[in-house]
Structure 1
Amino acid sequence: MPKISPPLAKVSRPKLYRVAPRERLFERLDECRRRSIVWISGPPGAGKTTLVATYLEHRKIPGVWYQVDSGDADPATFFYYLGEALQRVGSRKRRGLPLLTPEYLADLAGFSRRFFREFFARLPPKGVLVLDNFQEVVAESPFHHVVEEALGEIRDDINLIAISRSEPPPRCARAVANGLVAQLGWDDLRLTRTETAAVATAKKAIDEATIGELHDQSNGWAAGLVLMLERLSRTGTVNRIAQSETMDTMFNYFAGQVFDQASPETRNVLTRTAFMRSMTVELAETISGDPQAGKVLEHFYRQHLFTDRKSGEEIRYEYHALFRAFLQDRARKALSEAELLQLMVRTADLLDVSGSAADALPLNPMAAALAGQLADTDQSACRAGHARARIRAILGPAR
């Protein structure tokens, strides 16, 4: 393999600019580092990378930062760039780490153990190896076999920090079972109201009511808060935060990070369930017409894709409020007005029957307004309790 310099971003710690330190999570990370492996998982834009980068900077912790990408599915590539990254934090006069050449492929596990034994031995005391964007390599890749072997070679005074959108994969199960892994999840990463206030007031004073509105709308999601604050800084206004300009930017974020990468079947489940504030698997399957809807929701929950799961008599799923608004917008664009109205009515009916009548109430005025566009309807007659019956008369039997 030719000796070329790796892309700088791949082995460089992110540069930070005026980032508010999160002492609450710094203390949690101090505790987590008592174990060999720290696993940080959360949705896109949750502030995972920024948290780790600021933590290492504030605590003055040395080590290697490695940006995982799909190319690391090839173990030879992974080993090569890790070796180059280590050279950047140590003496270049030392002999480089071995390359994975064809003669070693028959014993990949043995090579991996020897490589990481030497790799961790060369890290500075109390140093770390950060694997950012761990989810970028598919679960079936040899990369995960390599990492599994690496976990058994970590020195007592060294940590491996994995940053991912998902929880530890099956190949890490043994390390989890042995108590070697400390996890920091989405519930930990959510900004508290105090942290929201610290971020929001870093550049200018903002009143308490607006801070409360920012926190309620973002629900602790760092990227959502930043997008809202960007609009405030451009316009100088502190009211009606979620205006169209901000929402367009946020919707583009959801589209690029989540929706457009999903299969057509998954997109159908998401848009068909968009008007349910909370849903069981049965409700999701019924409204979407897809028997795999429950698996879609569980996948989005496990991948921290703006979906929460609530336990009780029945497991219920809820979309993040901003993500639900995005999905409703996609439903409006994907469906005809008649199809959209039918979806709203059916959703409300299902919620009523399932004992969630309160969740159905917001759909009445939405459906009534849409019905008024389809027929010359006296919308004053389409109040809650009469709206859906009037709409059914306009639409005819459910399709």
Structure 2
Amino acid sequence: MAPYESDDSTRAAEDDDRLAGRRKAARYVVPVAVMGVAAATIGLVPALADSGDPDLPKVTAQQLIEKIAESDVQQLSGTVKISTDLGLPDLGGLESGLLSGAVEGRDGSSADPQSKLLELASGTHTLRVAADGPDRGKVSLLDDAAEYSVIHDGKDVWGYDSKSNEVFHTTSDESGHADGGRSKAPREVPATPKDFADEVLKSVDDTTSVTVDGTAHVAGRDAYRLVVKPRQSGTTVGAISIAVDARTGLPLKFTLTPASGGAAVVDAGFTQVDFSRPAASVFDFTPPKGAKVTEGDDLEGTKGDAPKDFGKALPKEHEGPADGPGAPKTIGEGWNTIVVLDGGGEGLPSGASGSTGNSDVDGFLNSLGDQVKGKFGSGTVFSTRLVNALITDDGKVYAGAVTKAALVEAADAAR
């Protein structure tokens, strides 16, 4: 992403120098289960905004970025409206299970936040969030007839699913924080506008334009609009808008629109927020009588995110540095970065790029992906409104927030 710009799009050389140290190539997602992982890192139907634009002092994009970085909101409570429109095929609800299974990595309690909060990857949801410092927080996912909560109180992290009356318990050093507005629960699953904004802004470089585009009212608060746009062509990202609280610097709303137009792919925003300290009782939790309680260490020999003997179980070829044989590689830069994986010569089943002889199976596979050919050979492109992935018949995977043509071009160049 890009050097920070003022409203008149001027960029001072000193700004480039100051930003050089912050640039990170951290916007890439390994597409083993592209739809699942991509959906887990993006998300969200527009949050309700008040009418009218407030009259606020002028600020530059650089000043607003610094205000976000310096924001230190320790206490808050509120409601977040979150919705996802990735354009995934309708599998009759099966996609939700696939998303959870792709990232869950362990078998056990329905209250385990490692998979439960991945429900945010599709549809429209309402969250209640609360935080009191870095070690006390709560996120509740509200449903029509049930509620799921992650409560972080000191070293304890609890997950409770009222529908199944199941409880999951672990400690913060094993599963990450669950503190509402300040960190993720579980790790890698954004839940608030700040989570999404942090992921975008930490990788700003000269492939991106960043400007201030007026003001807004969000959840009863005066806010500035920060707009992030790719300078490059070939990306599926159109623009990202971040509403920044004028007083605290906390992102109140995050909206990602695709280059193809239409509804937002990601739109997460507070509909109500209060920066006073929540009552201590908000973070109290005792397993209800009769609830099934699962301890994190009890799940199939796991502790946290990895099996206890994971390192011993890996074959020799998986040892070594991240840039060793079989490791994911990246090509391109900025928004046009593509992750490349080598599947060892194993592509998709024959029906995905040819014919199984079964018209129903062929029709299903063809509905999920488009067959393509090039100098690289042939393969199948699986598309969402944001992330696309090309899986070649010889087992290579090319994925990124780029167009189908860009994937084919990359595969041809790597031939």
- TM over 0.5: same fold? no
TM-score (norm 1): 0.21
TM-score (norm 2): 0.21
Which structure has more relative contact order (CA 8 Å, sep 6+)? It is: 2
Higher helix share: 1
Task: Report which of the two structures shows the higher radius of gyration computed on alpha carbons.
Answer: 1
Structure number having the greater strand percentage:
2
